[in-house]
Amino acid sequence: MEAPTFVAPDMKIKDIIQQLEQLAPPSLQENYDNSGLLIGSKDDETSGAIVCLDCTEEVIDEAIASGFHLIISHHPIIFSGLKKINGKNYVERIVIKAIKNNIAIYAIHTNLDNVYEGVNQKIASRLGLINTSILSPKNQLLCKLVTFAPLTGAETIRNALFAAGAGSIGKYSDCSFSSQGMGTFKAGTGAQPYVGSINEKHLEPEERIEVILENHLQNAVIAALKNAHPYEEVAYDVYPLLNSHQLIGSGLIGDLKAPVDTMEFLKSLKKTMLTSCVRYTKVVKDQVSRIAVCGGSGSFLFNDAKASGADVFITADYKYHQFFDADGQLVIADIGHYESEQFTGEILAGFLSNKFPTFAVRLTKVNTNPVNYL
């Protein structure tokens, strides 16, 4: 008797998106970007997803053959508005084919570039870098929540704030500051005060609780505060912060476990990153140990790489005249756009497989690199 074939249950696309947006919140994408659900309805169902760097017509065909109704792409197939959709170019043909076959396309681009465990960490891991940190941290992504609680309820409120995502600073969690003082209030007619009496001024020993949180978590954290707080009316303040977010930003910097010969490193880089070509500037020192990386087009980070003390800056899409910027201070190594980001799918496939063990996630078998080498 043959064992029954296991068929994974269909899942709502919105449930997949919810997890992806916890990994890389859409609010972290650059203002020129177009990440998110580009085609399809989040209420549709699918038994699996194809993960790719770029969504091409061949990838659509692959999804159709697999019976999947979701493609998760790093690069958005639609970057700017489409005024006509009549199949004149590859973008319009992909949109038409996806809609005809009820295939949703979700892009997770610069928001995945900007998180610590994203595209650049994948490159750093393949290179064996240690002591990694964001090369150019972003600012104005954080705010501070201040609230006031009765002494008996302070710990419960703190834990609720932490559970909602507040109180994380770098690699530390459950961070807060508290101080005690005296709160006053007078409950009016119709109120239901937790302590005190109607129309009588009341003094209550209270704890001031301060926590830092990411801006995009503000609604969820405030909702958790109100749900956990015993007071009928909850007093709180939210302050924007100028601090840099040490786990959000562009590029990554790290160290090799030991210095290596510069040319040997460049040769190993070609092999490790599975690239047919490494374009590099003049070798300026015999050995290298500090490495900066940026998947995709990263020339805008050159000054950050130089200031961080990098011996080599690995990225892509460098133009001829930009190579002169190295100026004998470090080595610029251009490994190709596709080549620098080709392992991004492994991040997404591994993440979703961990979240949904019965959901089929497949890395595309299509080579979507538009560049060929002789």
CB 272 within 8 A of CB 264: no
What is the per-residue pLDDT for 211? 98
Interatomic CA distance for residues 45 and 359, integer angstroms: 12
Query: What are the tokens at 91?
Result: 């973008």
Taking alpha carbons only, the member of 34, 37, 201, 51 closest to residue 111 is: 34
Q: What is the pLDDT along the chain (374 residues), one digit of tens a residue?
A: 444 444 456 899 999 999 999 999 999 999 999 999 999 999 999 999 999 999 999 999 999 999 999 999 999 999 988 899 999 999 999 999 999 999 999 999 999 999 999 999 999 999 999 999 999 999 999 999 999 999 999 999 999 999 999 999 988 999 999 999 999 999 999 999 999 999 999 999 999 999 999 999 999 999 999 999 999 999 999 999 999 999 999 999 999 999 999 999 999 999 999 999 999 999 999 999 999 999 999 999 999 999 999 999 999 999 999 999 999 999 999 999 999 999 999 999 999 999 999 999 999 999 999 999 98
| CB within 8 Å of 167: residues ≥ 6 apart | 158, 161, 173, 174, 175, 176, 211, 212, 213
Q: Are 207 and 151 in contact (CB under 8 A)?
A: yes
This prediction has a pTM of 0.90
CB 43 within 8 A of CB 12: yes
